[in-house]
Copies of this chain bind each other. A is one copy, B any other.
Amino acid sequence: MIHVDNLNVSVGNFNLHGVNLELREGGCLAILGPSGAGKTLLLETAMGARRPNRGRVLINGRNITDLPPELRRIAYIPQDLALFPHLSVRRNITFGLTSGAARRGTGEALDRVVAMFNIEHLLNRRVIGTLSGGEKQRVALARALIAQPRVLFLDEPFAALDAATRADLLRSLRSLRQTLNITLFLVTHDLDEACFLAEEVAIMMRGRIVEYGPRDRVFRQPRTTAVARFLNIRNILPIEQFRTTGFLSVKASHDGCTHVAVRPEDVTLTEWDDGPSDAVHARLDALIPLGSRTIAELTLPGSLRLEAMLNHDQAAALGRSASDRVRVSIPTGSMIYLSTDAGGPAYPAPVLS
């Protein structure tokens, strides 16, 4: 439905380089990346708010690169929501319906979105500033969707909300997608949001798409250290160092890859004397409970540090043990082989004290 075709944009001395994306009708594409990667610039260019130096944007095969915004039938929710501060909630929501034919259907359209987002009680509020964060979000969604746009562009829409409100809105938006069959183009730096809403994910760094594909492929099999680090896969280690520590199941070389990443939830800990034969001895430094799960911090021979994620029962068992020594094993299938980015790590390597 939406094709972004070799888009090049410059702002000051920041550039977007040859971005190609494709989004099918009713689908959801998430653009993920650290701040400053150019995500918002890409979104604004795809929407038509900025003119690209080169490249085209097509909707249903029609080139809309030069179409004025008011004729595009797309909706846009920016990070700050941009609710109109001089209008009541009702007038904010119906803002897009005052021209021509749409005006006659205002009543039903309003009823429809009001029911959809359950904001009946807010309709007569005169001052937008007194709404809570979640209420503002729902009003912004109602305003954007009242005219039944073809595509909804979202720029970090939930960044300022607390966990419970965000979780509610994510579920709202997810069920809306199914009801309305609307296409979503989502920019975010939050992994959970992308995971929850999108089928396709593109990861952007320094003005380039560095990974692009189905969500599960991108999240489970990143290809470079920079992307793996951005995806918050905590254990990223040089292959050689990993092997010399005793994990002999790690392949010595693999398509020119230099690093191996292992998710904390794929690391298995057992007590000192049990465990499979390929397990490696390690010292358990700390158990940090985090909601229903527990992070275990480990030190392996050669001062190698690893993190493991345990569920409640495993953590309780380890916590009871008198010794701080454990055996660590990692299934061969859960090793992710990574190459180092040609231009050095696009994402600065964290160093801890």
Measured CB to CB, the residues of A under 8 A from B are 34-36, 115-118, 132-135, 160, 162-165, 167-168, 171-172, 174-176, 179, 189-192, 195-196, 216, 219, 229-232, 234, 263, 265-266, 288-292, 309, 311-312, 347-348, 350-353
Contact = CB atoms under 8 A, between A and B. Distances in A.
B230 A350 contact: no
A232 B292 CA distance: 12
B348 A132 contact: yes
Contact of A162 (B117, B118, B160, B230): B230
B191 A132 contact: no
B195 A291 contact: yes
Nearest to A234: B167
A291 B292 CA distance: 15
Given A348-B132, A353-B176, A353-B179, A263 B292 contact: yes
Contacts of A192: 290-291
Contacts of A115: 353
B132 A172 contact: no
A196 B116 contact: no
Given A36-B132, A132-B36, A133-B35, A350 B164 contact: yes
B135 A163 contact: no
B164 A232 contact: yes
Given A35-B162, A162-B34, A352 B175 contact: yes
Given A162-B189, A189-B162, A134 B348 contact: yes
Nearest to A195: B290
22 contacts: A34-B132, A34-B133, A35-B133, A35-B160, A35-B162, A36-B132, A132-B348, A162-B230, A163-B189, A163-B232, A164-B230, A164-B347, A164-B350, A167-B234, A172-B353, A175-B353, A176-B353, A195-B290, A216-B289, A219-B291, A265-B292, A292-B309
A153 B155 CA distance: 31
A208 B132 CA distance: 17
A190 B163 contact: yes
A350 B168 contact: yes
Given A115-B353, A168-B352, 15 more contacts: A35-B160, A116-B353, A117-B353, A118-B351, A118-B352, A164-B230, A171-B352, A192-B291, A195-B289, A195-B291, A263-B292, A265-B292, A265-B312, A266-B292, A292-B309
A265 B291 CA distance: 10
Contacts of A174: 288
Contacts of A263: 292
A189 B161 CA distance: 8
A166 B313 CA distance: 27
A352 B169 CA distance: 8
Contact of A172 (B190, B196, B352): B352
